[in-house]
Structure formats: C-alpha cells, structure tokens
Amino acid sequence: MERLAAKIREIRQAGRDPLLGFSLVHSTVADDFISNVEETRDILHVEGNGTVTRLRTNDRGEPRTPPGKWSGTIARSDLEAFVRRLEAGGIDLPAGGVPPLPSEPYERLQVKLDGIEAEIGRRGLPQTPKPCGFDDLRPFLDRWAAGCKNALWSLAMETIDPRIDGKRFTATLRFSNHGTQAVKIPHPASPTKDDAIQLALSHYVPQVVKPGITPLPLEVGTHTLELERKNQVEWITIGPDGWWDLAIDQELSSPVPPGGMVFFRFRTHLPISNGKPESFQGSVTSEAYRL
C-alpha cells in the first residue's frame, strides 16, 4: 500500500486526477453456516466515477438478508477523502499480535490506480499493540456497502404450505427475484459434478422459550431432497419482481420433527444473466416453519 501512496503523490504533482483509473474491490470470506466450507460472502466493487455495486452470495441462514446484487453511487468528495487516507500511508497491517483462528472471517482489499495494484488482506481481528491503519478505511467501505440500495437482482425462497405425514414431506418452494433485472439460477434437479447443487430440509423440534430460562441449543437434522432429474430444464430464469414455484413431494428416510427450513446451496461458479456474465456461488434459505 505504501507504493500506492507514493503513486498518488506522483499523480498530484503531475497535476492529474487520482480518481481517473481508480477502482477497488473489497471482499469478505467466511465459513458456510451449515457445511463449514469457506466461501466468498460479500464483494464490494467501486469505480473512480462514483459507481458502486455490492454482491452478496450467501444469506447466512437469515432470509432477511438475501443473496443478490445492488448498486449505488458515491459522492466525489467521499472518494477523494478515501484517496487522501491512502495517500497518507500507514495502511499496511502491523506485525505480531495473536494469530487468528482459521475459522475467522477473512477480508481482502484490492486497489488499482494508474496501472498500480495493491492488495491487503486480514483474517479475524488480530490484537496488536499498534493502531491499524486499515481500520481507518472501514467507515468508507461500510458506508458505501450500505448505500447500495438499488436491487439489480435479489433471490429469496419461501416454503409454502409445508406438510409432514410420517416420513413424507410436501411443500411448494417459491423462488422470487426482487430486482430490476432477471436472474438465472440452476434447476435444483440439474445434474452437476461433485454435488455442486444441493436442496435440503433442515429440521428440529421447536422450543418453548420461558422468561428467565436459557433454552438449550437446537438439535438440527438434515435431509437432502432428491428430485427427479428426468425431463428437467437445466436453468430457470426469474424475471424482475417475478417468481418460480417448485413442488416438493419427498419420502424421507425417517420421520422428521415439526420445525424446519429449506436451503438451496450452489457449490460451483454459475453464470448470472442480464448484463455481464459473472461468477456466483452461494445459498438461499427459506423462513423457518413450525407445524
């Protein structure tokens, strides 16, 4: 990052605009909440002209934060303040501190400017005796991510009329897109390599929470929903503010309790339609039901 700071000073001395040719990508990687497999969670892409997009690949098991892509704009004054902080230097992480655990989140910041590229990454929040200049950039990154409010596409899933009869589970899964662009997803029954696509039912016994008593941890079980693969289209396109329904009628290997949710997980890089093709992997989870 110090080489980048020197480059910014060189550009200013030449009377040029450091925001011309400026871009950054801030990405966060963390373990999947079910499989503990490390995957990219959030990608923020900023251009020097003030355009910003945010791609969230995983809802972390929380349907209120669905995966999707959003866009926004950044004021030039805010970008200039960010560049001035880079120019001041001291962004690189100090050495030493407590080594983070492998399971802690990892974040990476890549900055390009006038042919120069710099990258800094960190896992967890290591304790250091020195202040970390990288933390000075976080208010900018958080503010820009929060400002992405225009949904280009946003994938959600709803479990409609779930029923359990012994070992049989029936429901309608509604995949919806709350955005201005169409989104293309693989059919849950599409044949893939290495089980890259998974549709599964996560189930548990609902707890009765009493005031003043800490509930025990939920004992969660999982059944993979094996769908018929014959005569299935490979891709499903969901238009702007549209939806697609999938009927589930599954004989499970054993009876399941009356509480649960369904999750749909992508395990390979899949193209998303409308605009430029891009890689995407992640998962979407339905709201929990209680029968």
- State pLDDT tens for residues 204-260: 777 666 787 776 666 777 888 888 766 667 778 899 999 999 999 989 888 888 888
What pLDDT is attached to residue 19?
Answer: 94
Is residue 224 situated within a structural domain?
yes
Is residue 184 situated within a structural domain?
yes
Per-residue pLDDT tens digits for 42-52: 889 999 999 99
CATH number for the domain including 211?
2.60.40
Same domain, 107 and 167: no
Per-residue pLDDT tens digits for 57-92: 775 656 667 888 899 999 999 999 999 999 988 776
Query: Which pLDDT band, with edges at 50, 70 and 90, does 127 fall under?
Result: very low
Whether the pLDDT of residue 271 is over 70: the answer is: no
Task: Give the DSSP per-residue string, 135-152.
Answer: GGGHHHHHHHHHT--EEE
Most confident option among 180-189, 193-202, 267-276: 180-189
Of 10-19, 94-103, 220-229, 253-262, the range with the lowest mean pLDDT is 94-103
What pLDDT is attached to residue 122?
Answer: 65
Same domain, 161 and 274: yes
Whether the pLDDT of residue 100 is over 60: the answer is: no
Domain count, the chain: 2
Same domain, 199 and 141: no
- In angstroms, the Cα distances linking 5 to 70, 88, 117 are 30, 7, 11
The answer to whether residues 223 and 256 touch, using CB atoms and an 8 Å cutoff, is yes
Written as six digits, the tokens of 109 are 């910041």
Same domain, 140 and 218: no
What distance in Å separates the CA atoms of residue 266 and residue 188, rounded to the nearest whole number? 9
What distance in Å separates the CA atoms of residue 48 and residue 106, rounded to the nearest whole number? 25
Same domain, 166 and 277: yes
Domain range holding 233?
A: 156-290
Same domain, 139 and 162: no
Written as six digits, the tokens of 69 are 């892509």
